[in-house]
Structure 1
Amino acid sequence: MPEGHSVHRIARQFGRHMVGDAVAVSSPQGRFAEGAALIDGRTMTASRAVGKQMFLEFDEALWLRVHLGIYGAWDFSGDLRQDATQRAARGRMGQTGMRGTGDEGDAPATVVGEHEDSLSSIGAPRRTRLRMAEAETAAAVEGWPPEPIGQVRVRLLTDRVVADLRGPTACEVLDAAAVQTVIDALGPDPLVDDAQEGEERMLARIRRRRVPIGLLLMDQSVVSGIGNVYRAEMLFRARLDPHTPGANLPEDVIRDLWRDWRYLLGIGVDTGQMMTMDGLDEESRKRALRNRADRHWVYKREGLPCRICGTHIVLEVAAGRKLYYCPSCQS
């Protein structure tokens, strides 16, 4: 399931390429025909993400709410613009599955560099198809507009960019009041909420619960955007036993969790990677950005020795999701 950094990146893509434009909205699959008709032809006026949920605003205060869930993804196609910052950053890494590390000649790099303003494919033809979900992949596209591929729930089309949505858990048109109701039920998001206010909200919501912290971090009403990868990695970075009840945690430990989430989320949005290992040398960083197996402390490393103590990483199922941790470092 896409975690918070991916949804923020998708919202930024809409902000760069569709906000301010009139949008033709359709449902090639047919399942969203009524909703599409409500916003068809309207101008997109804003895009925002809160945790794993994204909200696209259209004129007359109508919003498209999308939750990708496990299977959802957006495909962007068209003239996905580059800027001078991106061109200068050619070769730096920033996207799952990409190649090119600055020392491999003209091997194409996709989403690049810290603080890039667009998500176009560097070195690829100008007209590009970019898939955005948990991972991001790019390819050239022929013809305009491209034919829908697969079961497209909703298509958003301007004169130069098209965005196709497939497989979301939620896709609905809401008014402003209904959007606010959804947002009010969510925990704080470090990229949306005031840092101090968000920290206090997360602290209060964890300290009143006797639920294990390994479950609380995945509860979107406690804190927004954390999924399976960030949950496992944050708990290891804090050397926390995932089974410890939230109410038993010292205040400073919870505050440190919030601050670490702010830090990791910023890295994820900037680079497109869930990079959770600090202090890597240049070669190790290139390797980590190239291969997920080299970028995490415990996630997907069950049965392998802990990078710190050598104890084998444990995998267990908690509330139907896989939980990875080191029984020694996190005891």
Structure 2
Amino acid sequence: MSSSTLPLAALSPTKRTRSSTSSPAAATSSLSSALVVPPAFVTPAKKKTRTTKAKSPTSTSPPRALTTPDDFAGPILASSTSTPATLLPATLSWDLEVAKAHLVAHDPRFEAMFEKWEPTVYMEDLEVDAFRSLVHSLLGQQISWLAARSITHRFIRLFYPTLLPPLHDPLLASTYAHLFPTPAQILALPAATRLETLRGAGLSGRKAEYVVNLAEKFESGELSTKMLLDFEDDEELKETLLALKGVGPWTVNMFSMFSLRRPNILPVGDLGVQKGLLKHTLSAHSVPSSSSSTTALLPSGLTLAQLQTRLKTKAKGNVYLTPKECEELTEGWKPYRTLGSWYLWKIAGTEGEE
């Protein structure tokens, strides 16, 4: 996505409360300033008693809008009126409390962030439909999250014209969030007019081709949710996904963070992550501190003044921080950079920007 991002890498999961003490086991090369995030359609499942030590304050506020990275990434339920999608559990393979303690030990400022924002996306067990998640990501590339939400709605409505309203309605979204076309439904469109039909929903010609290609991969069995969940090596997973038409590093990172929930993902190409990390680094130098663990080191070869100018004038390549600088500044977060990255979007105050 060139716009912001958290990616319309949509995963729409079935959520179940999990214990935080489980055993340990997460779009194109050019960058754009637009914000894009994939909508996550989450269907609550029967609640279980939480055993996490973390306190969960009771909220009386209305449901939040889908405007954060995890909103646009997550497993999705299949339509009850078609062949069900393959949903598999994406159990968190790492211990959330251990990850929190690790980040706080490296940077005590994380403790205040944990109190302010609960990482709910990593506090529930999810069920993943990889096809739906990846399609959401493809549809959201290079456009704002508002445009992505509109196009995704029109795309789904091609297959369920009587069940979805003409326009996306946030107040009613939860009632039709379970609807999404399967690979078979997409391939059932007449081949001669298939791409034209998809373009009628607002997809570009390229995106229409990407979606059809992805549907063919899943329908043939070349790809499956189980196959992607079973990858143990992040690099091997990355290579497999990058081989797909239209899938770039950003989409891979969003899918890995929010669908597969890998523990050590750092989306260095996301402008929201870059901006959050820049602000986080600068804030460590804004007030003198006696704690050396709190004062972040500066990237090699850069002065504090140079970093401060980045907030107004991005570096070469239209970035707040280069991939190398991001890697260097978060070295101490390993092996839990996924959790740290989620908080960088919060610090930046954006939905993510690819």
- Would you call these one fold, judging by a TM-score over 0.5? no
Which gives a bigger RCO, structure 1 or 2 (Cα 8 Å, sep 6+)? 2
Q: TM-score, length-normalised on structure 1?
A: 0.30
Higher percent of residues as strand: 1
Q: TM-score, length-normalised on structure 2?
A: 0.29
Higher percent of residues as helix: 2
